[in-house]
Amino acid sequence: MQLLDGKLLSANIKKEIKIEVENALNKGLRRPKLAAVLVGHDPASQSYVRSKIKSCEQTGFDSDLISLDEDVTQEDLLQIIHRLNTDTLLDGYIVQLPLPAHINDEEIIRAVDPAKDVDGFHPFNMGKLSLGLETFIPATPYGILLMLERYNIKTKGKIAVVLGRSNIVGTPMALLLSRKAAYGNCTVIHTHSATIGLTNICKSADILIAAIGVPEFVKADMVKPGAIVIDVGINRVEDVNAKNGYRLVGDVDFEKVAPKCSFISPVPGGVGLMTVAALLLNTMKSYKQKHHF
C-alpha cells in the first residue's frame, strides 16, 4: 500500500507556485491576490480559511480575509461581492461554504464574477466543466486529479465509483473522471444516499472516491483488493483524549481499509491540503490570464 501524501504534494506545488510568483515579480508584475469571505464563526470553516490565507503567504500571494458576522444580510453580502468583482487588483476569491441558513447561497454563488470564481462553483463554470471546456475546476476534485497525476496513476478504462453527489465535490468529480482526457476515461458509477447495493458497487471499484461526510463509512469489505481509495471526508468525531476534544476522520475506515489498497489518501494530510493547492493554482491561472502569460 502506498500513501497518497497530500502534505508532500501540496508543499511541492506551493514551491512551484512560489517560483512562478518570483518570476512574475522579477518581470515587474504585481503579486497574485486571493480573497476569502467568511461568514460567522463555524470552527471548521475558520480553520479552512486560515489554511488558505496562510498558503497565500507561503507562496507570495497577497490575500484578504473578509470576516462577517453570522447575521450579515443577503444585500450586504451581495454588495461585498460586487466590490470584489470590480476590484481590478484581485485575481480570485472564495465565499467559504456553508453559509448561514438565512442566506440564499445559490444567489451568492451566481453573483460571483465567473472570471474570479476560483472555487469553480458558478453555474457558468460548472456548465463549462460539464461540456469539457477549459474552466476553473472546483478545488477539491482538481486537487484529487493532481494527486492522481503526481502519483502517475493511470485512470483510462478503470471503474471509478464516486460516493456523493454534492455540487462541490461528488458531481464535478464524477464528470471529470468520465471525460475523454488525461486522468479521465474512467467508467464512472456515481452513487448517493438512494443507491441500492452500495457495498457490491464499491467492491467493483478500481478507484473509489468517498465524499459523503459520514465518518469511516467505507469498510474493508466494501473495497476490492488493490483498489485506489481517495478519502475526501473531513469529519470531527468526539475524542476525550484529544486536546480539542475531537479528532478528524475521513469517510473511510483507514486502519482496516489501507492494507487492502494499492494507494490510499489519509485524513488529515490528504485531499484537504490538495484542495488548498488547487485553489492557489486556480488563482494563478486567473492571474496569468490577466497578465497574458
Ligand X SMILES: NC(=O)c1ccc[n+]([C@@H]2O[C@H](COP(=O)([O-])OP(=O)(O)OC[C@H]3O[C@@H](n4cnc5c(N)ncnc54)[C@H](OP(=O)(O)O)[C@@H]3O)[C@@H](O)[C@H]2O)c1
38 near ligand X (CB under 6 A): no
282 near ligand X (CB under 6 A): no
Which grid cell is 230? 481517495
User: How many binding residues for ligand X (CB under 6 A)?
Assistant: 25
- Helix ranges, 60-197 (H): 74-86, 105-111, 123-130, 139-150, 170-178
Q: Is 76 a catalytic residue?
A: no
CB of 176: closest distance to ligand X in angstroms? Answer: 14
Catalytic residue among 5, 14, 33, 96: 96
145 near ligand X (CB under 6 A): no
Nearer to ligand X, 23 or 47 (CB): 47
Nearest Cα neighbor of 229 from 258, 187, 256, 200 is 258
Residue with smallest beta-carbon separation from ligand X: 166
Alpha carbon distances (Å) from 137 to 115, 117, 259? 12, 10, 32
Find the binder of ligand X among 37, 160, 163, 279 (CB under 6 A). 163
Radius of gyration of the CA atoms of the chain, in A: 19
164 near ligand X (CB under 6 A): yes
CB of 133: closest distance to ligand X in angstroms? Answer: 23
In this chain, which stretch among 128-136, 177-185, 233-241, 252-260 interacts with ligand X, using CB under 6 A? 233-241
The two beta strands, 235-238 and 246-249, are antiparallel
Contact criterion met (CB below 8 Å) for 201 and 161? yes
Q: Is 52 a catalytic residue?
A: yes
In this chain, which stretch among 86-94, 101-109, 177-185, 209-217 interacts with ligand X, using CB under 6 A? 209-217
Nearest Cα neighbor of 49 from 58, 59, 62, 39 is 39
Nearer to ligand X, 166 or 185 (CB): 166
Residue ranges in 254-273 that form contacts with ligand X under rule CB under 6 A = 271-272
Beta bridge partners of residue 63, listed in sequence order: 34
For residue 276, give the H/E element and its range: helix 271-291
Kindly write out the interface string for residues 212-231 of this chain, putting x where it contacts ligand X by CB under 6 A and - elsewhere. xxx-----------------
DSSP3 helix / strand / coil % (the chain, rounded to 5): 45, 15, 40
Contact criterion met (CB below 8 Å) for 55 and 80? no
Q: Is 221 a catalytic residue?
A: no
Catalytic residues: 52, 96, 119
Q: Which chain residues interact with ligand X by CB under 6 A?
A: 140, 163-166, 168-170, 191-195, 198, 211-214, 232-235, 271-272, 275
